């Protein structure tokens, strides 16, 4: 498909990392600007990931049961292929503290600025599955948020490899803002065809894959016998609003639900 701007993308300008940084090095900031992603290696203790995984696993099991009671598939979730267990910070103090803590505070301070909220969180469990194409998309193509540029932190709960469906990104397409997306079968919205310069991003437990809401990406099929488990945390500037979801335009809706879109930074510091 030909890439073209989203109809609501009329005046986008890419924002570089802040000049006062704590965890994002000059090299990573350069990669952020040029490619729209980077990986922080070994920044979360193994025992912390184990606690997070133990909190999420039973919630995902309930989601899988819920899907099966409804025929196995709802929207892009499939009990036998991929599940999306959303807003788990509402159901676990452990996960809420994780999302509000380090290294995420430093990441978003460096990339967004001093006033940041959690925008979205979801566990994505990719089951062993047959080959299927998960479309290349931008996160802001599913739900159009203004400002368009926010930060996705993709946290592997098991080692993410090419074999079990780690992320792939299309570098350099982020600087033009949100692209138009169209629904494709069997699952999801698509903004570009498979790019020749796609980068496969393997990540171990303890790493964080950081990419822009405007970086086209996908995950490949899980060809192993084990579930590929990941927890995705997204952060937006305080004051962000939702303009459209899917193909439906809305009046701007503030993204400030205190239960799941809580303040992570205020004036550069954690809230009192």
Domain of 210, CATH number, reads: 2.60.120.620
177 falls within a domain: yes
210 falls within a domain: yes
pLDDT over 60 (residue 20): yes
12 falls within a domain: no
Question: Which range marks the domain in which residue 98 is found?
Answer: 29-255
10 falls within a domain: no
DSSP states along the chain: ----B-TT-SS----PPPSS-SSS-HHHHHHHHHHSEEEE-S-S-HHHHHHHHHHHHHHHHHHHHHHHHTTSEETTEETTTEEEEE-GGGS-HHHHHHHHSTTHHHHHHHHT-S-EEEEEEEEEEE-S----PPPPB-HHHHEEEESS--EEEEEESS-B-TTTT-EEE-TTGGGG-PBP-EE-SSSSEESSPPPTT-EE--B-TT-EEEEETTS-EEE----SSS-EEEEEEEEEETT-EEEEETTEEEEEEE---TTTS-EEEBTTB---
Residue 185 pLDDT? 75
270 falls within a domain: no
157 falls within a domain: yes
98 falls within a domain: yes
pTM score, two decimals?
0.96
23 falls within a domain: no
* pLDDT level of residue 129 (50, 70, 90 thresholds): confident
pLDDT over 80 (residue 133): no
State the total domains in the chain: 1
């Amino acid at each position: 498909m030909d890439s073209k701007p989203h109809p609501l993308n009329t005046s986008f300008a890419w924002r570089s990392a802040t000049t006062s940084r704590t965890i994002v090095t000059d090299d990573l900031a350069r990669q952020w600007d040029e490619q729209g992603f980077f990986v922080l290696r070994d920044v979360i203790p193994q025992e912390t990931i184990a606690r997070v995984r133990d909190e999420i696993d039973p919630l995902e099991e309930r989601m899988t049961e819920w899907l099966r009671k409804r025929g196995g598939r709802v929207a892009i979730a499939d009990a036998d292929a991929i599940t999306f267990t959303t807003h788990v910070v509402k159901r676990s103090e452990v996960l809420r503290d994780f999302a509000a803590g380090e290294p995420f505070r430093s990441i978003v301070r460096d990339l967004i600025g001093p006033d940041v909220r959690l925008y979205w969180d979801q566990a994505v469990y990719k089951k062993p599955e047959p080959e299927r194409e998960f479309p290349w998309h931008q996160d802001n193509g599913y739900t159009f948020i203004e400002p368009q540029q926010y930060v996705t932190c993709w946290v592997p709960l098991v080692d993410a490899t090419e074999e079990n469906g780690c992320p792939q990104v299309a570098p350099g397409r982020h600087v033009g803002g949100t692209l138009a997306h169209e629904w494709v079968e069997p699952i999801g919205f698509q903004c570009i065809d498979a790019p020749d310069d796609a980068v496969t991003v393997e990540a171990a437990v303890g790493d964080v894959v950081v990419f822009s809401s405007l970086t086209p990406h996908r995950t490949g099929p899980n060809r192993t016998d084990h579930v590929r488990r990941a927890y995705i945390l997204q952060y937006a500037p305080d004051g962000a609003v939702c303009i459209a979801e899917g193909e439906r335009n809305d009046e701007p809706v503030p993204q400030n639900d205190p239960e799941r879109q809580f303040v992570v930074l205020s004036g550069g510091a954690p809230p009192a």
